Structure 1
Amino acid sequence: MKKIKNNFICKIIEKDILKNKHIKIRTRFPPEPNGHLHIGHAKSIFINFNIAKIYNGKCNLRFDDTNPYKENIKYINIIKKDIIWLGFKWNKKIKYSSNYFNTFYKYAMLLIKKGLAYVDSLNKFEIKKYRGNLKKKGTNSPFRNRSILENINLFKKMKIGKFQEGDVCLRAKINMSSKIILMRDPVLYRIIKKKSHHQTKKKWCIYPTYDFSHCISDYIEKITHSICTIEFQENKKLYNWILKNINIKKKPKQYEFSRLNIENSLLSKRKIKILIKKKIIKNWSDPRLLTISGLRKRGYTPSSIRKFCYNIGITKKENLIQMSYLEHFIRNDLDKKVNRAMAILNPIKIIIYNLPKNYKKIISIPNHPKIKKFGKQNIILRREIYIEKNDFEEKNKKNKKKLFINGKVKLRYSYIIKAKKIKKDRLNKIKTIYCKYYNKKQSKKIKNNIIIHWISKKESIKANFEMYENLFTTKHPEKKKNMLQYINKNSIIIKHGLVQKDIFSKILKKYIQFERIGYFFLKKNKIKNITFTCITKLKK
């Protein structure tokens, strides 16, 4: 397997191997089951699983399930499905942070006994006030100097449910004057009694925070390289502080890489939940989202996402990637895998008046212009055909490659036609275009480089086309105070058009390229309700 591009982490691992620092390389992917995975998680999955594979190591799947208020078993199931769909396999059994609740409790008690943790009776609002901010130092809690014995007894009472939610919590005793706000006596344990845990049910009523459980889970699982995104850089201080003070020898080490940001998209789970609540999107699998389930529903392939993740590489530098870069990989992937066909999204009728009413011309064309093994298909030219409305203008406009009155175009795989007159309806909209047809011999004498696609009326059936654009009109919606102001109202448009009657014989594994339009995924294949989802348009 190739090394991931721009990979400073591999260089670190190779140095560690040369120094015999690790017998076996171990990584992990630790999602919180509080929503669907997105393309940023795909990057993390790709990095962790591939690094383990490159160095003949193991990658664990561990669910960070320390907050039953936010978590759900349905998210665990969809995350497992997403990872398998992407083409990765985790090491042995799935891990859960909840597997280690007894161990977390033991280490929390150790910190209390060492005078490095205390039970605080401030509520969450008071804790925030006492913590200060970047300009103002924190103030010690009035409960910070409780005796070790009192803290032990209070923590035991927390465990057996003697307190209500929000009454008390366990905090690390570090430094309330630290420049890093996170290190100002962070909370290690809080009480959660009102919600049953999906794994441990009602066994526990105290739960460790992510920062406390994560580093200890890494230690228990013998993770050698704990790889996460750059926003956890400050958390490393607490990660190392906890491991240093719980009396362990071989400590895991955390490494950070840049978070994935893609233009006009949203990856924040919290903000995606807002979009769902406001009914701007249907659910986590909405094809306009860059969730793995959304991309799968849109028609993206696992291999295109893996290639995208490989090519963006691993760096510490934050950047904003264009959506067109992701689209490039799905186009490249499908280009070699799918047949071509013609479809009309906005039909307008043409009558070729100099052809007989019963005219029928069978034309043999390739299923793929470059790959012979894909074979051939037959299309039929008749007197009445449909073309795209956008391929016709009444008057000639410079630099517009369209059909117009007294103008000529070539029908794809066929011959040249010339528009002679039009017929309009009561609303003054064009209903029919009457054209003259030039046979093969005549067409050869006419110079023309304008080619349009078409479908014969008799060989066509109705179909729906879901056309997607960016969900947001701004490049970086996550940085906007009110992201809802930047919702693209035309992010989905349903077109009611036509496809060839024998379209199902041309579709390979639900994929097709409609010429001059884009790559499509077959969503519904009922004759009276054929629906295609546009994965990506062709490059102009």
Structure 2
Amino acid sequence: MSDAPRPRNFLAEIVEADLAAGRNGGRVVTRFPPEPNGYLHIGHSKSILLNFGLARAYGGRTHLRFDDTNPVTEETEYVEAIQDDVRWLGGDWGGHLYFASDFFDRMYACAERLVREGLAYVDTQSQETIREQRGSFDRPGVNSPFRDRPVAENQDLLRRMKAGEFPDGAAVLRAKIDMSHPNVLMRDPLLYRVRHARHHRTGDAWCIYPMYDFAHPLEDACEGVTHSICTLEFESNRELYDWVLDHTGPWDPRPRQYEFARLALGYTVMSKRKLLRLVNEQRVSGWDDPRMPTVAGMRRRGVTAEALRDFADLIGVAKNNSLVDIGKLEFATRADLERRSPRAMAVIHPLAVSIENWPAGKVEELDLPWWPGEPERGGSRKVPFGGELFIERDDFALDPPKDWKRLAPGREVRLAGAYVIRCDEVVRGPDGDVRALRCTYDPASRTGEGAARRAGGTLHWVHAGLSVPAEVRMYDRLFAVEQPDAEEDFIATINPDSLTVAKGARVEPALRDAAPGSRYQFLRQGYFFADPVDSVPGAPVWNRTITLKDTWSARAREAAAAPRRAREPRREEPAAAPAAPAAPRRSRAEARAELRAANPALAARHAHYLSALRLPADDADLLAADPGTAAYFDAAIAAGARPATAAKWLLNDLAGLAGDRDLAALPLDGAGFGRFAALVDAGRLTPAAAKTLLGELAARGGEPEARMQALGLERREDAGALEAALEKALAAHAAEAARYRAGEKKLLGVLLGAVMREAGGAADAAQVRAALQKKLG
């Protein structure tokens, strides 16, 4: 077993249970299976860290596998970029680099087997016709007229597909499962399609390619994967995943698929199609544009692999999808950069300052530490100080607000690491704009000598003649709204200030030779990264990774709403507005507690849920999160539901079905939900039937009992009906039953599902399993 830290999440619990039970021979093999049709994004980074982390913690291994089954969209460039990003994140696959194309021969052999056993057929209808015949959630599918082709004919057609006799779209191979299956994906899904396209690895050797749902489980099985971890959108695919493995095995180990919530991040899009559009329309400079959520873009912006790991730990591994506050990523990034970034000075928008009483021509070299708050870390550099300086244009105001702590006429400030200066005169241009400041300094106020000398605030600065011109790119969020995907056209939500370039910026001389990839905190400005692409020796280009926490920013925005003060206009191309103040982040539980503290009615409900209803603390906290949720839950209790049952089904199931909608917007009101929960309490619904009924009620409404009866979901204890369902299912799956009796015990799940479908989903699964095992002997 590895000494790596053990993760704490439901997937780790599954792995530990498997190891304790001796499953898979004690092996833990995970995989990261990207399609080579684009660059990885931050959502992929969560999956990479999860898969590699789990395997490392339990002494296993992780494979890197490219799911290259669509030659039309795949490129070698993407393969190389993905490997680079995975390595950068700390993923080590050792000798276990695979491609789906490594297994094309074995996949095809499995397809031939399915045809030979009467479990697959060639369909020569159009794609539109096949799609229509599959039906929908509330409409059963229709059998293809070619579903009962003889085996020999299907074998011939499949081989002719492979030989290239059919054009694209003229024929597909389909599994023969069940066109009335409640899971639409199980209605004779496509396994192979014709695609005459040159593959980046196999060239023109193949003109038929496996569909994802056929290739994915077979790749896992061929590689010996034990735990196939996917995001939640593949939950419905799991039944097909199991069907493919159960009908092409036996496999040892037999992979199992598990799902977790994908990363949805505010102010971000992560659809590859949309990211590709940004690139193709030149809305960004490329896949590695620092505003992109790609791993390559974040790397170029200066985000570290450690920050992404900290972010992944911060958000955890969940079972339900939710939108993650981008502030958590920013928090993790700042916390990481704070401890790794030496301090330096840069002036983005310079304003000239002349110190009138400074000795003419004198240059004083100040020895300033790289880590002013941590002297034990050591290290310093020489920074020239003289009579001609630059300060930040925003650090001066002609008519400052009351709490202004920067420079203004007649006011004093300290220049960081140097002296206290006073503004004596403002030099204006013909149009009244501020061109320069004339100041005086206090010779006895040098930092470390006259440090007790008080001043209004501390400003960063650079020497006018000895500082270095620099291009500074001020990056901000790419989108101006939290959920750009929710808009009709996400392009319309692009933040016009996501990038501003300050080409007139100046940096202290010590940064002239900063190597590409260097990181610094520019005092009072933010964290900056020497661009690894555009920087050249002696002339680094600086990318702002992220702003600092700046409590003054909020006051500056408030001031902008008031009558405009007489500050000079900028003549430089403006930098992006300072980011919102990074106040200490509250957890969601803390936010809910604050809301209750401000709402006595919610606080009383929360106390009632804990004391009178005896709900777990986490449930009570979530149910009293807002008045709408609490009112909905109270209505359910009033309608006769047991509190524990209503809480469980509301928090674990109904909340997910509601998605972004308020509970009040559902066609199922609180009282109706309570009557549903009462049916569960009365034992009239199996858990599976209850999930089906709740999904129907949340989508279409109706009276729970009437909908239960109409859908045939009420639990049945009729022994005769169960026996009939057993007989019918086993007759329809005689081949699987025979193989089970011959030793393929993994087919029990297939047969159990067949009986449950014959029983209409209303039978008790444990009772069905016991009866089925007895029947099979």
- Asked if TM exceeds 0.5, the reply is yes
Pairing partner for 2:119 from 116, 119, 123: 116
In 1, distance between residues paired with 2:164 and 2:537? 60
Q: Which stretch shifts more, 395-404 or 523-532? A: 523-532
Pairing partner for 1:147 from 142, 147, 150: 150
The answer as to whether partners of 1:395 and 1:404 remain within 8 angstroms in 2 is: yes
Summarize deviations over 1:382-419 as a string: whole Å, max 9, x none. 11110001000101212233211112211111222221
User: Residue 407 of structure 1 corresponds to which residue in structure 2?
Assistant: 411
In 2, distance between residues paired with 1:239 and 1:507? 49
Does residue 1:517 correspond to 2:525, yes or no? yes
User: Residue 546 of structure 2 corresponds to which residue in structure 1?
Assistant: 536
In 2, distance between residues paired with 1:182 and 1:281? 37
Secondary structure (helix, strand or coil) at the match of 1:502 reads helix
Does residue 1:499 correspond to 2:499, yes or no? no
Pairing partner for 1:482 from 471, 489, 513: 489
Query: Counterparts in 2 of 1:199-214, with a 5 A limit?
Result: 199-214=201-216
Summarize deviations over 1:510-537 as a string: whole Å, max 9, x none. 2221111111111244478541111111
Does residue 1:349 correspond to 2:355, yes or no? no
The answer as to whether partners of 1:298 and 1:535 remain within 8 angstroms in 2 is: yes
Taking a change above 3 Å as real, the CA distance of residues 113 and 481 of structure 1, as seen in their structure-2 partners, is farther
Summarize deviations over 1:348-405 as a string: whole Å, max 9, x none. 0011122232233332221112143431222222111100010001012122332111
Pairing partner for 1:384 from 364, 388, 393: 388
Taking a change above 3 Å as real, the CA distance of residues 507 and 537 of structure 1, as seen in their structure-2 partners, is farther
Pairing partner for 2:428 from 418, 424, 431: 424
Secondary structure (helix, strand or coil) at the match of 2:323 reads coil
User: Residue 48 of structure 1 corresponds to which residue in structure 2?
Assistant: 51
Pairing partner for 1:230 from 219, 232, 251: 232
The answer as to whether partners of 1:67 and 1:207 remain within 8 angstroms in 2 is: yes
Query: Which amino acid is 2:20 matched to?
Result: L
Does residue 1:179 correspond to 2:197, yes or no? no
Q: Which stretch shifts more, 422-431 or 61-70? A: 422-431
User: Residue 250 of structure 2 corresponds to which residue in structure 1?
Assistant: 248
Pairing partner for 2:464 from 426, 450, 457: 457
Taking a change above 3 Å as real, the CA distance of residues 441 and 419 of structure 1, as seen in their structure-2 partners, is closer
Deviation at 1:2, TM superposition (A): 5.0
Query: Which amino acid is 2:460 matched to?
Result: H
Secondary structure (helix, strand or coil) at the match of 2:298 reads helix
User: Residue 68 of structure 1 corresponds to which residue in structure 2?
Assistant: 71
The answer as to whether partners of 1:22 and 1:224 remain within 8 angstroms in 2 is: yes
Query: Counterparts in 2 of 1:183-202, with a 5 A limit?
Result: 183-193=186-196, 195-202=197-204
In 1, distance between residues paired with 2:246 and 2:535? 60
Does residue 1:283 correspond to 2:290, yes or no? no
Taking a change above 3 Å as real, the CA distance of residues 425 and 480 of structure 1, as seen in their structure-2 partners, is same
Query: Which amino acid is 1:142 matched to?
Result: P
In 1, distance between residues paired with 2:315 and 2:68? 30
Segments of structure 2 that go 5 or more residues without pairing to the other structure are 551-777
Query: Which amino acid is 1:295 matched to?
Result: M
Q: How high is the TM-score relative to the length of structure 2? A: 0.67
Deviation at 1:445, TM superposition (A): 7.3
Does residue 1:268 correspond to 2:268, yes or no? no
Alignment length (residue pairs): 539
Summarize deviations over 1:459-485 as a string: whole Å, max 9, x none. 212101011111111112223331111
RMSD: 2.0
In 1, distance between residues paired with 2:400 and 2:282? 44
Q: How high is the TM-score relative to the length of structure 1? A: 0.95
The answer as to whether partners of 1:349 and 1:432 remain within 8 angstroms in 2 is: yes
Taking a change above 3 Å as real, the CA distance of residues 334 and 203 of structure 1, as seen in their structure-2 partners, is same
Structure with the larger RCO, 1 or 2 (CA within 8 Å, 6+ apart): 1
Query: Which amino acid is 2:418 matched to?
Result: S
The answer as to whether partners of 1:340 and 1:506 remain within 8 angstroms in 2 is: no
User: Residue 720 of structure 2 corresponds to which residue in structure 1?
Assistant: none
Deviation at 1:422, TM superposition (A): 0.9
Summarize deviations over 1:171-228 as a string: whole Å, max 9, x none. 11222222322122111000011x1111111111111001101101111111110011
User: Identical aligned pairs, as a percentage?
Assistant: 36
Computing the radius of gyration from Cα coordinates, the structure with the larger value is 2
In 2, distance between residues paired with 1:6 and 1:271? 33
User: Residue 38 of structure 2 corresponds to which residue in structure 1?
Assistant: 35
Query: Counterparts in 2 of 1:294-333, with a 5 A limit?
Result: 294-333=297-336
The answer as to whether partners of 1:4 and 1:311 remain within 8 angstroms in 2 is: no
Query: Which amino acid is 1:29 matched to?
Result: F
Deviation at 1:5, TM superposition (A): 4.9
The answer as to whether partners of 1:268 and 1:478 remain within 8 angstroms in 2 is: no
Secondary structure (helix, strand or coil) at the match of 1:467 reads strand
Summarize deviations over 1:221-243 as a string: whole Å, max 9, x none. 11110011111101101101111
In 1, distance between residues paired with 2:277 and 2:94? 34
In 1, distance between residues paired with 2:537 and 2:206? 54
The answer as to whether partners of 1:5 and 1:312 remain within 8 angstroms in 2 is: no
Secondary structure (helix, strand or coil) at the match of 2:340 reads coil
Deviation at 1:279, TM superposition (A): 1.5
In 2, distance between residues paired with 1:13 and 1:102? 31
User: Residue 632 of structure 2 corresponds to which residue in structure 1?
Assistant: none
Deviation at 1:93, TM superposition (A): 4.0
Query: Which amino acid is 1:222 matched to?
Result: G
The answer as to whether partners of 2:266 and 2:324 remain within 8 angstroms in 1 is: yes
Does residue 1:393 correspond to 2:397, yes or no? yes
Does residue 1:358 correspond to 2:366, yes or no? no
In 1, distance between residues paired with 2:86 and 2:251? 33
The answer as to whether partners of 1:366 and 1:376 remain within 8 angstroms in 2 is: yes
Secondary structure (helix, strand or coil) at the match of 2:409 reads coil
Summarize deviations over 1:400-457 as a string: whole Å, max 9, x none. 3321111221111122222122111223221111112223259767543411111111
Taking a change above 3 Å as real, the CA distance of residues 287 and 441 of structure 1, as seen in their structure-2 partners, is closer
Taking a change above 3 Å as real, the CA distance of residues 447 and 373 of structure 1, as seen in their structure-2 partners, is closer
Taking a change above 3 Å as real, the CA distance of residues 444 and 366 of structure 1, as seen in their structure-2 partners, is closer
In 2, distance between residues paired with 1:474 and 1:486? 6
In 2, distance between residues paired with 1:199 and 1:506? 41
Secondary structure (helix, strand or coil) at the match of 1:459 reads coil
Taking a change above 3 Å as real, the CA distance of residues 221 and 435 of structure 1, as seen in their structure-2 partners, is same
**Structure that is richer in strand per residue:** 1
Deviation at 1:334, TM superposition (A): 2.8
The answer as to whether partners of 2:516 and 2:535 remain within 8 angstroms in 1 is: no
The answer as to whether partners of 1:362 and 1:379 remain within 8 angstroms in 2 is: yes
**Structure that is richer in helix per residue:** 2
The answer as to whether partners of 2:62 and 2:96 remain within 8 angstroms in 1 is: no
Secondary structure (helix, strand or coil) at the match of 2:155 reads helix
